[in-house]
Amino acid sequence: QLQLQESGPGMVKPSETLSLTCTVSGGSISSSSYYWGWVRQPPGKGLEWIGSIYYSGSTYYNPSLKSRVTISVGTSKNQFSLKLSSVTAADTAVYYCAPHSSGYYSYFDYWGQGTLVTVSS
């Protein structure tokens, strides 16, 4: 059973880059079974898919964030990462890492506990 843990700074200044890492246990980041995704949730609001990466390195992003997002895989430590540039207060949210399969199975059946990132000077 997959277990996921997000880590990174809890506060980022406006205009800077938000960087988070998700550490995966119970499975390999190099597995062809999963895409490795990020979802966020502003306080008191709904869920927004940010993007996903396959072990091969292929990525797809939400068009609403695409210009600012980079997701990458670090196979040596069974981790994958999120970078979101030029952040504003609107990027304040709980960020979850959540893998998914492909096609009919592209739902999010595992989630990290989430990490709150606040954008503030």
Partner 1 sequence: EIVLTQSPGTLSLSPGERATLSCRASQSVSSSYLAWYQQKPGQAPRLLIYGASSRATGIPDRFSGSGSGTDFTLTISRLEPEDFAVYYCQHYGSSPFTFGPGTKVDFK
Binds partner 1 by CB under 8 A, chosen from 31, 33, 106, 118: 106
**Should residue 60 be labelled a site residue for partner 1 when binding is judged by CB under 8 A?**
yes
- The answer for residues whose C-beta is within 8 angstroms of residue 39's C-beta and 6 or more apart is 47, 48, 49, 50, 95, 96, 98, 108, 111
**Should residue 10 be labelled a site residue for partner 1 when binding is judged by CB under 8 A?**
no
**Should residue 46 be labelled a site residue for partner 1 when binding is judged by CB under 8 A?**
yes
Binds partner 1 by CB under 8 A, chosen from 7, 48, 55, 68: 48
Based on CB atoms, which residue is closest to partner 1, 93 or 112?
Answer: 112
- The answer for residues whose C-beta is within 8 angstroms of residue 120's C-beta and 6 or more apart is 11, 13, 14, 89, 92
Q: Which residues sit at the interface with partner 1, rule CB under 8 A? A: 46-49, 60, 62-64, 96, 98, 100, 104-109, 111-114
